[in-house]
Structure 1
Amino acid sequence: MPGMSSAVVDFLVVLLQGQVHLVVKPHTIQRSNRRISFAGLWVQQQDNPTGAAAEEMAEDETNLIRGEQPPALDDPHEGPSRNEDDVEYENPQSCGKAFCDPSTRAHRLIVLVFLCFLAFGSYYCFDNPGALQTQIENTMVITTSEFSSLYSWYSWPNTVLCFLGGFLIDRVFGIRMGAIIFSTIIIVGQVLFALGALVNRFWLMQFGRFIFGVGGESLAVAQNTYSVCWFKDKELNTVFGLQLSISRLGSMANFMTMPFLFTSFSKLYSGTTGLGVTLLVAAFWCILSMLCAVVLAVLDRRAARILKREAAQTGEVVRLQDVRNFPRTFWMLCFVCVSYYVTIFPFIGLGTVFFQRKFRFGAVEANLVDSIPYLISAFASPVFGILVDLVGRNLLWVTVAVVGTLVSHSLLAFTFINPWVAMVYMGLNYSLLACAFWPLVAMVVPERQLGTAYGMMQSVQNLGLALISMVSGMIVDSSGYFMLEVFFLAWLCCALIACLLLLMVNAKQGGVLNRDRTKKD
């Protein structure tokens, strides 16, 4: 801290020379060639003060004794007086200036760290069941169908909350309190999920997952709102990419650590207690997310006061009457969304046992290969995002991703080729589709209706995930994993047919969904 060290040295020098005039003035760290302010203490160096200067010093000291505020020191470098709330660090060499000024990039980097970890806990705990499928089924003595309901109960509330999340943030809670409330709901849901295992009550575990779902998607809305408020233009694209990467690393960390935690606690606690303690420890990451929400609320409130800006809002306006005006292409995109994503998340949720049974993997390796799509997307999504931005042709990329995922599931269903190949390829295609698909909504729906359009699509997606998760569990119980893969392949064929129809319809309507980069506005 060179600026701080220099100030201390200068202070000691003038103090030892006996040529100091001390005036208490709680301003910032500032240093000029004649004056030093350190730790709220003004130090004015005088060259043998005599006459009027000496009288002025004596008057200031008298005022200090009386408790009166001394007059401002005349200095050409000092600007107008500042409110104590608007603290600024004027010394370019001061160690805290850049990090404490909310208008600087350095300060926004601090915000970005907390922003990326705001949803880390929810992503880590979302796939807790998938990482512990065998352990949960054996410990709680449940069927695969009952196990799959843990994912369904997460999705059910979000068939409605996708519409209400933005409204609650904008009109009821505000972004700061909303993020804290939703992160707290996630903690409550995870704790109830763990308590259900501790007391051997599966219905309580299901209820905990329902509560967890209430907070999970709404917290993601709050995270996106903070991002739009703090970052603009090109920064925003990078921020969204980093958020997705950190979130997916949370999912990956879950698959890598939860089996180890269960094994460790099972040595200390018997029966369902070991499972409950394991899930309770996972709640630590939800607490971390809540602490990030608190820090972000403090930083955002301070920035709003200093920069004189309004509190962040989602900007989404949901009008259900707009739904009837959506074009056919939008509903076809909704169908592609559902028919594709139901082959990804339900499969990952049930995949650990599949890899153990068909490929004879151990629990650790099965969890690792099952989480590969998350790891791939953490690093590939930003790259594919740049690729799609440069090339365009969004609908074509979506079609390519659907075909690639179809190939991946075919390899898993009909061959014994090392599943790492199929899962890495699935992760690449999953990342590509995510980058190319979601911007398509803005190409077919007017800007004023985007809030409703995205809410409707996410609602339909969660409805599909809730239903297909339940059906997937029933298929495994009745017919095994091979028929589950055939079921997923059927959905991917439907998605491919919808993409081909979209390509034809889009060609007749001017090709807006498949323009190359040179034709974009």
Structure 2
Amino acid sequence: MAEEDEEARALLAGGPEAGSGVPGGARALPALCDPSRLAHRLLVLLLMCLLGFGSYFCYDIPAALQTHVKRDMQVNTTKFMLLYAWYSWPNVVLCFFGGFLIDRVFGIRWGTIIFSCFVCIGQVIFALGGIFNAFWLMELGRFVFGIGGESLAVAQNTYAVSWFKGKELNLVFGLQLSMARIGSTVNMNLMGWLYSKIETSLGSSGHMTLGVTLMIGGITCILSLICALVLAYLDLRAEKILHKEQGKTGEVIKLTDIKDFSLPLWLIFIICVCYYAAVFPFIGLGKVFFSEKFGFSSQSASAVNSIVYIISAPMSPIFGLLVDKTGKNIIWVLCAVAATLLSHMMLAFTLWNPWIAMSLLGLAYSLLACALWPMVAFLVPEHQLGTAYGFMQSIQNLGLAVISIFAGLILDSRGYLFLEVFFIACVSLSLLAVICLYLVNHGQGGNLNYSAKQREEMKLSDPE
């Protein structure tokens, strides 16, 4: 048992040498207060996971309250989907500069606090838009919220790299993603119930009830801000005790690198944009879809709409391990996109229980993220990774902003069947891009579809 404890401490503390610079007095600290001890690092990990909880909880509040927002603010679906578009617009640019601001301007501690403040302020403005019956104010709130949301995720990952190096880092990233998905799931299943309770308390529905509900939901953002403040204190304290440096994102952004991007990389960008365009906007509109087509109650519709996030919470780390052990990334991406296409076709053209299609979508969504994003690292040198990932996130947000508006227009003018056909077309384009990627990679003798064994042999033959 003692050996296991020593092993765990070595793993999470980055080895026995981590405490070598600790003054003699610091060794007498209780385990929970000693930055070189397992208990303290687990406390930091908990704070890292909770750091993004409020942001992910509040991101899908419009989806959880779609009916209430449209009714109380007297807007159509096109205007409703602007709440998602305005979140994405700032991140078309910030994906390139968020890491720079953290590394060069604010530092990880102040950067995390500042971006958490943007999330809190954005949610408050969003709620005030409901209270004062001003939809433009709600749009402004989502824009401010978006400035903080994506950059906060960059800060969260930077803290993880700073505190947890080596093999355990993938596990930490998996735990952070799981907590984020739990935040989205809790939101989907809680906000409708909260609205009804406030409606009963105030005696009527309307924009005031909506605004108060949104304000209470914003408490989760305050939780994230508190975590940011405590993390900053603990990180500063660890720097003094262990003489550790502030975390860096490792992002080096050079827009001139874009001209060097290869055809397979551009195909990956197309897969990313077309795939996520058929997932996030659909979830944003899904609750009413399940109520209207399948006759679900509000609570049941929220539950089935959140199943994608529920499944991705435990399955993302599992699929990540699966892809690591097997390789064959393109085949796994092909399976994920094909499963998503089947899921949307079931929802569009059958009356089968939607739990089946949504569970399949949840599995496919988790698998795609684990297989698609790592392929970028196989195609570009390390010094261009920051630019490649920044550009990928940038066009993803651009695509989501445009598709969100377009999806609202289709739903207002044509209905849910045409909307599903549109999503099927998006996934079909993604599938076509995957097939092209397979053919191009095969023709060029690329390594994207290597097995794990082939990749290991390639590393041994070319250590650099």
| TM-score of the alignment, normalized to the shorter chain, above 0.5 | yes
For 1:153 and 1:274, how far apart are their aligned partners in 2? Answer: 23
Letter in 2 for 1:515: Y
CA distance in 2, matches of 1:102, 1:243: 20
SS of 1:310 mapped into structure 2: coil
> Any idea what the Cα deviations from partners look like across 1:339-370, whole Å, max 9, x if unmatched?
00000000000000000000000000001100
Which residue type is aligned with residue 82 of structure 2?
Answer: S
Shift of 1:132: 0.2
Answering whether residue 346 of structure 2 is matched by residue 411 of structure 1, we say yes
Instruction: For 1:326 and 1:279, locate their aligned partners in 2 and report how far apart those are by CA, in whole Å.
Output: 43
Displacement of 1:268: 2.4
8 Å CA contact retained: 1:268, 1:274: no
Partner of 1:200: 133
Aligned equivalent of 1:161:
94
User: In 1, Cα distance between the equivalents of 2:238 and 2:317?
Assistant: 29
Instruction: Give the deviation of 1:234 after TM superposition.
Output: 1.4
Alpha-carbon deviation of 1:98?
A: 2.4
Give the corresponding residue for 2:428: 493
Q: Distance in 2 between matches of 1:442 and 1:388?
A: 14
Offset of residue 88 of structure 1: 1.7
Give the conservation status (yes or no) of the 8 Å contact 2:319–2:370: yes
Runs of at least 5 residues in structure 1 that lack an aligned partner in the other structure: 1-81, 91-95
Q: Which residue among 393, 407, 412 is the counterpart of 1:477? A: 412
RMSD of aligned C-alpha atoms?
A: 1.0
Q: Which residue identity does 2:362 align to in structure 1? A: G
Whichever residue aligns with residue 128 of structure 2, its letter is L
SS at match of 2:185: helix
Contact 1:88–1:97 (Cα < 8 Å) also in 2: no
- Contact kept, 8 Å, 2:267 with 2:433, in 1: the verdict is yes
TM-fit CA distance, 1:102: 1.2
* 3-state SS of paired residue (1:346): helix
TM-score (norm 1): 0.82
> What is the distance in 2 between the residues matched to 1:433 and 1:133?
27
Residue aligning to 2:386 = 451
The one-letter code matched in structure 2 to 1:359 is: F
For 1:274 and 1:268, how far apart are their aligned partners in 2?
9
Confirm whether residue 439 of structure 1 aligns to residue 374 of structure 2.
Answer: yes
**What is the aligned counterpart of 1:172 among 102, 105, 109?**
105
Matched with 1:391 is 326
Identity over aligned residues, as a percent? 56
Aligned to 1:251: 184
**Superposed displacement of residue 326, structure 1:** 1.0
TM-score (norm 2): 0.92
In the alignment, is the contact (CA less than 8 A) between 1:412 and 1:422 conserved in 2?
Answer: yes
The CA deviation at 1:313 is: 1.0
Q: Structure 2: 5+ residue runs without aligned partners? A: 1-21, 460-464
Matched, 1:88 2:26: yes
DSSP-derived class of the 2:244 partner? coil
The structure with the larger Rg is 1
Residue in 1 that maps onto 2:236: 301
1:511 aligned to 433, 446, 456, which one?
Answer: 446
For residues 368 and 496 of structure 1, what CA distance do their matches in structure 2 show?
A: 28
The alpha-carbon deviation at position 105 of structure 1 amounts to 2.3
Separation (CA, whole Å) in 1 of partners of 2:98 and 2:166:
24
- In the alignment, the residues of structure 2 paired with residue 283 and residue 203 of structure 1 have an alpha-carbon distance, to the nearest angstrom, of 19
- Give deviations 1:189-220, integer Å, cap 9, x for gaps: 00000000000000000000000000000000
**Corresponding residue of 1:126:** 59
- In the other structure, the counterpart of 2:76 is 143
How far does the alpha carbon of each residue in 1:317-345 deviate from its partner, in whole angstroms, 9 at most, with x for none? Answer: 10011111111111111000000000000
Shift of 1:124: 0.1
State how far apart, in whole Å, the 2-side matches of 1:514 and 1:158 are.
31
In the alignment, is residue 318 of structure 1 matched against residue 253 of structure 2? yes
Q: Distance in 1 between matches of 2:342 and 2:218?
A: 37
1:262 to 190, 195, 200: 195
Name the residue aligned to 1:354: 289
How many residues align structurally? 433
User: Cα deviations across residues 131-179 of structure 1 (Å, max 9, x unaligned)?
Assistant: 0000110111100000000000000000000001000000111000000
Q: Kindly provide the amino acid, as one letter, of the partner of residue 176 in structure 2.
A: Q
Tell me which amino acid in the other structure corresponds to 1:290: L
In the TM superposition, residue 233 of structure 1 has moved relative to its aligned partner by 1.4
Partners of 1:124 and 1:164 in 2: how far apart?
A: 24
- Cα distance in 1 for partners of 2:113, 2:67 equals 34
Contact kept? 1:157, 1:214, Cα under 8 Å: yes
CA distance in 2, matches of 1:398, 1:233: 26
Contact persistence 2:26–2:241 (CA under 8 A):
no
How far apart are residue 307 of structure 1 and its match?
1.2
1:212-227 correspondence runs (5 A): 212-227=145-160
Task: Determine which of 166, 181, 194 is the counterpart of 1:233.
Answer: 166
Distance 1:484 1:322 in 2: 37
2:217 pairs with 1:282: yes
User: Is the Cα contact below 8 Å between 1:127 and 1:251 reproduced in 2?
Assistant: yes
State the alpha-carbon separation in 1 of the partners of residues 154 and 382 from structure 2.
18
Residue 28 of structure 1: aligned partner: none
Task: Judge conservation of contact 2:307–2:358 (CA < 8 Å) in 1.
Answer: yes
* d(CA) in 1 for partners of 2:95, 2:37: 33
Instruction: Give the CA deviation at 1:275.
Output: 0.5
